Amino acid sequence: MPSSIQELDLGKVVISMDKNKFVFVDKQEIEEEEYRKSLTYWQDAWRRLKKHKLAMIGLIGVVLIVLIGIFGPMLTQFSYSDQVNDYKNLPPKLDLYKVDDDIYIYLSGDYFLFSVAENGRLIKRLELPKENKDIINKVYTYVLDGEPVILDFSYNLLPGKRGYDYDFTLEYKGNITHDVYKTVLNKIYPFGTDSLGRDMLTRTMYGARISLIVAFVATLVNFIIGVTYGAIAGYEGGRKDNIMMRFVDIVNSIPLVLYVILLMVLLRNQGLWTIILALGSVYWVGMARLVRGQILALKEQEFVLAARTLGVSKKKIIMRHLIPNAMGPIIVAMTMMIPSAVFTESFLSFIGLGVSAPMASWGTLANNALSGLITYPYQLFYPALAIAITMLAFNFLGDGLRDALDPRLRKG
């Protein structure tokens, strides 16, 4: 039996151990391993946020929307207010009719003919002299480079011309066409144009800028008023708190949109700042409640007592000790406030209280699209899509932030 093996006789059980199997612990090494890099609250939150897939999608979406809002309108060849009278109400997809070799025609909903290249690049609008409009027989004669193009849209409308598969024909140099040759994307106006011939792509991106400016600044105003009010109420406590919160309760028991509308009427809609002011001065009550709750809990903690004992002023305790510690829920609330501000702004613009023309927000774009909806649905589609994407992105990000910054509220 090797000498290194010790035998312990514990009653009847014999345990044998090989000393070589054991190594002395290097104390220093262990201690070094025990120390992990200490993460601050924000680093920890970021680590958690990165794990949240939907939140990261939301974050990327938000960054993209903001970048599009800032740089998008600079990159297109049109400005948001440029009007091209010839190119009104052009959709993003053009149905082309081939009337001759290399001559393609697009017929718009307003009975205008456009000469279009095969790849979808608009060349020009065909002229239609007034005397060429034969409304009774429903035949219009357009002029393309001196040659007449005859649009006969009397089929299925006039007696004796019923039972056709098609409603109109195009005649050019004796060739008659009535079938769509192919559908191409509008190369000059990828999102089409509106009723004044303005580029929808530029306007949608510009709308992003306006909608986001309104939402961000209004949220900032909310933040400043709400945090100040809530912090004072929470820190002071007692009667002041009671009176201040009763007021909040009352404001909160009113449908706030009514007051935004009232303020907009009152301020007479003098541009962007009125809508920001109206939104900012009304929606702070939720923030005030939240901050007050946080402060009430925080002010009982030892570090506040310590600060007070040291003679730190009230203002400084609130600004340097209390609010930074309540920042997590505040940021979550702000992230959720931005999409609802976008929503409210578009709602206001929709009922005619938004930014004034030629400026455009998504709400005004949607409102403008309403009158020609049946013929030009694409004019509503893009701003509506933009609103929906923004709402989704901010909501995803907000959910993720809530999980990351406020683990107590985490779901699941």
Residues that bind other proteins (CB under 8 A): 250, 253-258, 261-266, 268, 343, 346-347, 350-353, 366, 369-370, 373-374, 377, 380, 384, 387-388, 391-392, 395, 411-412
Q: Which amino acid is at 190?
A: P
Evaluate whether 194 touches 382 at the Cβ level (below 8 Å): no
Query: Cβ–Cβ contacts within 10 Å for residue 221, how many?
Result: 18
Least spacing, CB of residue 340 vs other proteins, in Å: 10
Q: And the tokens for 312?
A: 């730190």
Measured CA to CA, the distance from residue 394 to residue 118 in angstroms comes to 41
| Residue 262 or 305 having the CB closest to other proteins | 262
Would you say 83 or 395 has its CB closer to other proteins? 395
Interstrand relation of 103-107 and 93-100 (parallel, antiparallel or unpaired)? antiparallel
User: Angle 200-236/272-282 helices, nearest 10 degrees?
Assistant: 30
245 in helix, strand or coil?
helix
User: Minimum distance between the CB of residue 86 and other proteins, rounded to whole angstroms?
Assistant: 27
Residue 184 Cβ vs other proteins, minimum distance, rounded to whole Å:
23
Least distance in angstroms from the C-beta of 256 to other proteins? 8
Q: Residue 1 Cβ, how far from other proteins at the closest point, in Å?
A: 57
Q: Which is nearer to other proteins, 2 or 255 (by Cβ)?
A: 255
Contact (Cβ atoms closer than 8 angstroms) between residue 48 and residue 403: yes
Gap between the Cα atoms of 102 and 272, Å rounded:
48
The smaller minimum CB distance to other proteins, of residues 76 and 346, is found at: 346
Choice between 111 and 259, CB closer to other proteins = 259
Give the span between the Cα atoms of 155 and 377, in whole angstroms. Answer: 25
Q: Shortest approach of other proteins to residue 217 CB, angstroms? A: 21
Closer residue to other proteins, CB minimum distance, 232 or 336: 336
Angle at 234 between CA 228 and CA 240, to 5 degrees: 95
Q: How many residues does the chain have?
A: 412
